[in-house]
Amino acid sequence: MQTWSVCTSENAATNRDMHAAEPPKLQDILEYLSAFFHGMDVKLFTNPFQWRKWDKYTGTVLKTPDTERRIGLMTPGQELFGIRCRASPDGVSPMQVNLDDILDALADNIPPDAHSVMILLDMDMYEGDGDIFTAGRAYGGSRIAAVSLFRDHPLCAPRDDGHAWPASHCAAYIDQLCHQASHPSTKQTKRQPPPSQRRDSGGPLHVAIEAATHGECKMPSSEAPTAQWLGRVVVTMAHELCHCLGLDHCTYFACAMQGCGSVDEAQRQPPYVCPVCLEKLCTAIGEGVVDGWEDEGVRDGFVRERYEALRRVCGRWDASVSRMFAGYKAWLDAVMERSYEQVVIVIDG
């Protein structure tokens, strides 16, 4: 089954330099999620799940997605689940495993001291027969989630066109995407923002864009592919774990909790949660673990501590390594600076 996690797309054949990308380190993932879910312990599940053969099938790559087999997944409780598997319909991965079967195996193995449990796979996943792939899914009420590393591998993911978050907020780029969606048969030329375009120099998003594009003139670091991979994966993992805390998809603002239909779209979404979802997330955690949560000052302090924890994690990568982490760090800096600004009104008696 080792070949199941090897990208077989055309992009993989023409970008051999990306083969050297190391998978994200578990410690980096844990540190990011610990900061994102500040106030909760994020731990590595030490009791492993292990792949086993099912009947006589041992993992031979199938030729068509129309044929399904089952591969065994042994749980820590020594129960063997039959996981459906098939060839990838788009040829990007050799084989895919069925998401629903994975979650069924996970449901009976939530540690007694855990709120939720997530399994992270290095192979591709699918959900229904009509799906091409599924990057992640959570059954929030059951407190279980699964995420795949596979589609975010630098060899599998779409090439960055320079407009991944935070540059996805470029007005000309958004106009271009909207035009392509409404006129799919029209040949589109690359559009540039007009020279006189107004620039907002005061907001956190503008600061994030400036920080993310600051390193564009530098040679990309050898760490960049892995950092890019890490950034995409942790945002997906945080999204799915938020579902386990009761958050639904966001329909209010640009937010990490927005629904997503493709890897391209995922690259354009922010890593932060909007004010509405931030309130939901912090309340879901803080009400149970923070003394005096009813006090507004305590709640504000908790949010600042969370931002500070995220800022420390994101500060480990500059723009030559990860534009997402560099932009997120700058965004956090600007948001925290604003939170410290106080307006004092003096009324003479």
Q: pLDDT 10s per residue in the chain (349 long)?
A: 888 998 887 665 555 555 568 999 999 999 999 999 999 999 998 888 999 999 889 899 999 999 999 999 999 999 999 999 999 999 999 999 999 999 999 998 999 999 999 999 999 999 988 899 999 999 989 999 999 999 999 988 877 667 789 887 766 766 776 777 777 765 544 444 444 354 555 689 999 999 988 755 555 678 889 999 999 999 999 999 999 999 999 999 999 999 988 888 888 899 999 999 999 999 999 998 899 999 999 999 999 999 999 999 999 998 889 999 999 999 999 999 987 765 444 454 4
Rounded (5°) CA angle 116-262-28: 45
Alpha helices in 132-223 (DSSP H): 171-182, 204-213
Rounded (5°) CA angle 184-156-214: 85
Q: What is the pTM of this model?
A: 0.88
Q: What is the pLDDT of residues 290-329, one digit of tens each?
A: 999 999 999 999 999 999 999 999 999 988 899 999 999 9
Residue 169, Cβ density class (10 Å: 0-12 exposed, 13-18 middle, ≥19 buried): middle
With contact defined as beta carbons under 8 Å apart, do 75 and 52 qualify? no
With contact defined as beta carbons under 8 Å apart, do 123 and 140 qualify? no
User: How far, rounded to the nearest angstrom, does the alpha carbon of residue 61 sit from its chain's CA centroid?
Assistant: 28
d(CA 304, CA 298): 10
Element (H, E) at 74: strand 69-74
Q: Is the domain covering 1-160+222-294 a CATH 3.40.390.10 domain?
A: yes
With contact defined as beta carbons under 8 Å apart, do 124 and 88 qualify? yes
Q: What are phi and psi of 268, to 5 degrees?
A: -90, -10
Helix axes 296-314, 275-289, angle to 10 degrees: 110
User: How far, rounded to the nearest angstrom, does the alpha carbon of residue 262 sit from its chain's CA centroid?
Assistant: 12
Sheet holding 124-126, edge to edge: 50-52, 69-74, 80-86, 96-98, 124-126
d(CA 191, CA 180): 12
Give the amino acid at 158.
P
Domain boundaries, the chain: 1-160+222-294
What is the rounded radius of gyration, in angstroms, for the C-alpha atoms of the chain?
A: 22
pLDDT value of position 344: 45
